[in-house]
Structures are given as C-alpha cells and as structure tokens.
C-alpha cells in the first residue's frame, strides 16, 4: 500500500534542495539585544521587539502582579464567561493612545484580520487590496468571500483604476493595506490612499502591525504619522511587535468595533488574551505615554545602521523604517550569508519564497531601541566581513 503522506516527504525534500527549508533556532534566553541561540551568545538582528519591551522589567512586574490578583486564563470566550475588567481597560487605553473612538482586543494581529475583514464585507462586495499585503489580510479577504481585486504595490494610480473599473459592480467596498510592509520596510502612502478612497464610498482599513509603537508621535502609529485622525475607519494593530507581548487590536470607528463584539468570529469563538498578556500591554501603554525616549532611540539606531550599511555598499531596498532588508537575490546565497553571520555571532535570518517573491531573497535586519551603539557597530563589522567573503560587496 502506498504511503498517503509520502508527498509531504517529497515536498520537504524540495524545500531543502531549493534553500527554502525553515531551520528554526532554539533560544535559551529572554528576548533582547543579545540572545543565547542553540547555546551560543549572539547579537539579535531578527526580532520585532522594536522597543525592547519583550523583557522590560515594568512589563514583567505588571504581569506578575496581575497573575497574583486575577490568575492566568480567561476560561472561556468573553461573550459566555464574561469579560475581565483588565481587557476593557486595555481597550480603552489603546483607543485613547491612538486617538480613536473605540478599540477591541484579539488573541493576535492575525486573528484581528480574520475577524474584521469578513465582518465588514461578504459575497457581492468588493475588496481592493495591495498586492504585497500580509498573509493574514489575504486570508481574511478569502474568508470573507468578497471579490478581491489587487492593486500594484503602493501604487495609488492603480488603486484608483481598480476602484474606477470595479466599484460600481459591487455592494460594499473595503480598501485595505499594510501600514508598514513587513518584508520591505516601506510605508503605504495612506494620505493619498485616503484621498482616492474617499470618492468611492469605501471603508478604509490599514494593518499597522509594524507601525504601532514605531511610527507617529511617540509610536501612535501610521494614522498619527499622516495626521489622518478620524479618516481611517479601521486600524488593525498587534501587541506582539513593538509592544513586546502578544495580542491584536482593532481600533477606529465605534460602530465597527461594536459590530466586531457581535460578529467578529475570533472574538465570539476563541478565548481572549491571557491576564499576564493584558497586564503587560497596559504597562507598555504606560511607558509609551510617559516618554518618547524608546521610540526616539529606535529611530536614532535605525538611521545610523542604514546609513552605515549603504556606505558599505549593501542594497537595503525601499525601507524607510527600522525594518532593514539586505537584498541578496537567490535564496541559497541568503541562507549562506545568514549562516556565516551566525558563525560571526550575529543572528539575522534569511527570508525567501513564499514570504518574499522568488529571486528577492534577503537578510532582514530588525533594529531595536535595545541595541547599544556598540552592538550596531559589531553587527556592521560582521556584515562587512561576510559581505566581502561572499562577494556581495567589495
Ligand atoms: C506580524 C503581522 C501580523 C500578525 O500579528 P500577530 O499579532 O503576530 O499575529 C499581521 N499583520 C501584519 C502586517 C504583520 O506584520
């Protein structure tokens, strides 16, 4: 009898052969500028821990205190077992922080997208979506059963064309974009997207996962960055990146948030964030509201690292944010580069297809406020050495 799962072995072998197999490293230290990875102390250039909050003493303490008071788990979905005051508090604080009418939390940013998109559009409706949008947006769009039209990446003319050609054939319409594109680090032209969208009776949604805690005044996000308060209907955010914890948020129009409490499927059918997660996120909001120091340091580090990488001759793509792609082309080269960096004490992952298009493999460096100047210099030195060794720079 043939093995019905033989095909998986074949597919896995194909991944190995094409340099696309995900080799997952094991950490034995907290997140921070330095990590212990597979027993080796290495400089951390790959986490989304933009502000160094993942192991911040204030967040750790807040989580411990909350556990003492409320325990750990929410014990059922909120509509059935009741909602904890802590979750409401986080939602109100997030809404105030972002300057929006209301906010609702989810278990993750991924779930937030799966909740909001199918709640807003369905069969007979239209979604107009940037071609490089995050996988969770794509999955949310597919779940909705609305017609999906993609427009060229960050191309407002093409967005206008899609709306002009297709809008009138459908009932409701949603225009959706990543705020900061996670693999390229470029920022969506949300001001222009808003201007175009306005003329077509469309709901405007931005997924600000990599902008939350990074862009705008004191990390208030992309809507604040462009001063589009009250104009963007839905902002999806994550609490797993700059906020250093885990969870998702939908912030914006109060009607939409209320609708999600009634019809967001991951809200209705999956339990909420745990107590320590929520308490730690509340401490993160406290920190961000008290001072812009961490966000300022993040940008100072970003400017320094990018400038020095370009001086060394590396192609850092279109990024204008702390996400710094180092473009290498073919996946095997990116993997070899990453291995050699690791040997040199720098942990920076290679990223290839399907996360980025074929032939656009890269190392993605994630800059953090937790990096000291000396850390960045050590990283630059390793990049220079490996880059010369592999003939990427001269
Ligand atoms: C990381 C990311 C998500 C997922 O966030 P999680 O909270 O980790 O589930 C969603 N959208 C975008 C654009 C992201 O970069």
| CATH number of the domain to which 28 belongs | 3.90.1150.10
Within a domain: residue 238? yes
- Where does residue 354 rank: exposed (0-12), middle (13-18), buried (19+ CB within 10 A)? exposed
Choose one of 290, 318, 338: the last residue of a domain.
290
Within a domain: residue 5? no
- CA–CA dist 36, 41 (Å, integer): 4
Q: Bridge partners of 346?
A: 43
The residue nearest atom 14 of ligand 1, judged by CA position, is 209
Per-residue tokens: 282: 């509340």
- CA–CA dist 165, 262 (Å, integer): 33
Residue owning tokens 């052969």: 17
206 and 240 inside one domain: yes
Pocket test for ligand 1, best of 238, 245, 251, 281 (most atoms within 8 A of CB): 238
* Displacement of CA 211 from its chain's centroid (Å): 8
Find the catalytic residue in 108, 182, 240, 370: 182
Q: What is the pLDDT of residue 23?
A: 81
Task: Spell 154-173 as b/e; 16+ CB within 10 A means b.
Answer: bebebbbbbbeeebeebeeb
User: By percentage, how much of the chain surpasses pLDDT 70?
Assistant: 100
Q: What is the pLDDT of residue 21?
A: 85
Total number of domains constituting the chain: 2
Q: 34 phi and psi, to 5 degrees?
A: -120, 145
Q: Which of 273, 195, 232 is nearest to 221 (CA)?
A: 232
228 and 299 inside one domain: no
152 and 220 inside one domain: yes
Pocket test for ligand 1, best of 209, 210, 248, 366 (most atoms within 8 A of CB): 209
Find the CATH number of the domain harbouring 273: 3.40.640.10
Q: How many angstroms does the Cα of residue 47 sit away from the middle of ligand 1?
A: 13
Residue owning tokens 């197999």: 21
Within a domain: residue 4? no
Examine the pLDDT at 225 and tell me if it is beyond 70.
Answer: yes
263 and 168 inside one domain: yes
Question: What average pLDDT is seen over the chain?
Answer: 96
Choose one of 255, 290, 325: the last residue of a domain.
290
8 A C-beta contact, residue 151 and residue 159: yes
- Asked if 16 is an active-site residue, the reply is no
283 and 325 inside one domain: no
Find the catalytic residue in 98, 225, 241, 306: 241
Within a domain: residue 10? no
- Where does residue 192 rank: exposed (0-12), middle (13-18), buried (19+ CB within 10 A)? middle
Find the catalytic residue in 134, 210, 225, 306: 210
- Asked if 210 is an active-site residue, the reply is yes
Q: What is the pLDDT of residues 37-83, one digit of tens each?
A: 989 999 999 999 999 999 999 999 999 999 999 999 998 999 998 99
- Asked if 87 is an active-site residue, the reply is no
Question: CA–CA distance from 296 to each of 119, 218, 348, 370, 379 (Å)?
Answer: 37, 8, 23, 12, 20
Q: Which of 277, 298, 255, 324 is nearest to 106 (CA)?
A: 277
What ligand 1 atom has the least distance to the C-alpha of 246?
Answer: 7
Within a domain: residue 140? yes
Within a domain: residue 12? no
Q: Which residues line ligand 1 at a C-beta cut-off of 6 Å?
A: 108-110, 134, 136, 178, 182, 207, 209-210, 238, 240, 248
Q: Which of 193, 224, 183, 190 is nearest to 96 (CA)?
A: 224
170 and 198 inside one domain: yes
347 and 300 inside one domain: yes
Arithmetic mean of pLDDT, 361-370: 97
- CA–CA dist 218, 244 (Å, integer): 16
Enumerate helices (H) and strands (E) in the chain, giving the number of each.
15, 13
The residue nearest atom 5 of ligand 1, judged by CA position, is 109
Q: How confident is the model at residue 1 (pLDDT cuts 50, 70, 90)?
A: low
The residue nearest atom 6 of ligand 1, judged by CA position, is 109
266 and 173 inside one domain: yes
139 and 43 inside one domain: no
Q: What is the pLDDT of residues 292-331, one digit of tens each?
A: 999 999 999 999 999 999 999 999 999 999 999 999 999 9
What ligand 1 atom has the least distance to the C-alpha of 134?
Answer: 13
Examine the pLDDT at 354 and tell me if it is beyond 90.
Answer: no
128 and 232 inside one domain: yes
324 and 182 inside one domain: no
* Residue numbers of the domain that contains 236: 57-290
Global pTM? 0.95
90 and 153 inside one domain: yes
Choose one of 290, 312, 329: the last residue of a domain.
290
Q: How many angstroms does the Cα of residue 327 sit away from the middle of ligand 1?
A: 22
Q: How many angstroms does the Cα of residue 162 sit away from the middle of ligand 1?
A: 26
């Amino acid at each position: 009898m043939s093995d019905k799962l033989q095909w998986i072995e074949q597919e896995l072998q194909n991944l190995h052969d094409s340099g696309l197999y995900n080799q997952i490293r094991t950490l034995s230290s907290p997140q921070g500028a330095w990590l212990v990875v597979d027993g080796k102390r290495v400089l951390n250039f790959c986490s989304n821990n933009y502000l160094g909050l993942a192991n911040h003493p204030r967040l750790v303490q807040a989580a411990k205190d909350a556990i003492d008071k409320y325990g750990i788990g929410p014990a059922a979905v909120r509509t059935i077992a009741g909602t904890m005051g802590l979750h409401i508090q986080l939602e109100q604080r997030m809404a105030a922080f972002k300057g929006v009418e209301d906010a609702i939390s989810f278990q993750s940013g991924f779930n937030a997208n799966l909740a909001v998109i199918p709640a807003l559009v369905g069969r007979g409706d239209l979604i107009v979506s940037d071609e490089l949008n995050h996988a969770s947006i794509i999955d949310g769009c597919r779940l909705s059963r609305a017609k999906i039209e993609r427009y060229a990446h960050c191309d407002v003319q093409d967005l206008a064309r899609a709306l002009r050609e297709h809008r009138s054939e459908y009932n409701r319409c949603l225009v959706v974009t990543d705020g900061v594109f996670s693999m390229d680090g470029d920022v969506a032209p949300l001001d222009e997207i808003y201007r175009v969208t306005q003329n077509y009776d469309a709901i405007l949604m931005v997924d600000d996962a990599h902008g939350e805690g990074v862009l705008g005044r004191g990390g208030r996000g992309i809507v604040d960055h462009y001063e589009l308060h009250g104009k963007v209907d839905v902002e999806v955010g994550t609490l797993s990146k700059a906020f250093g914890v885990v969870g998702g948020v939908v912030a914006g129009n109060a009607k939409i948030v209320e609708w999600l409490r009634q019809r967001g499927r991951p809200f209705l059918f999956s339990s909420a964030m745990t107590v320590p997660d929520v308490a730690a996120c509340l401490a993160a909001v406290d920190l961000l509201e008290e001072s812009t120091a961490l966000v300022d340091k993040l940008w100072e580090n970003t400017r320094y690292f990018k400038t020095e990488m370009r001086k060394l001759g590396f192609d850092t793509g279109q990024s204008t944010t702390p996400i710094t792609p180092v473009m290498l082309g073919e996946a095997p080269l990116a993997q070899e580069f990453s291995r050699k960096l690791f040997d040199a004490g720098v942990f920076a992952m290679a990223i290839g297809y399907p996360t980025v298009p074929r032939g656009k493999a890269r190392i993605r460096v994630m800059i953090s406020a937790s990096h000291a100047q000396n850390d960045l210099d050590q990283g630059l030195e390793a990049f220079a050495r490996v880059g010369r060794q592999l003939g990427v720079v001269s």
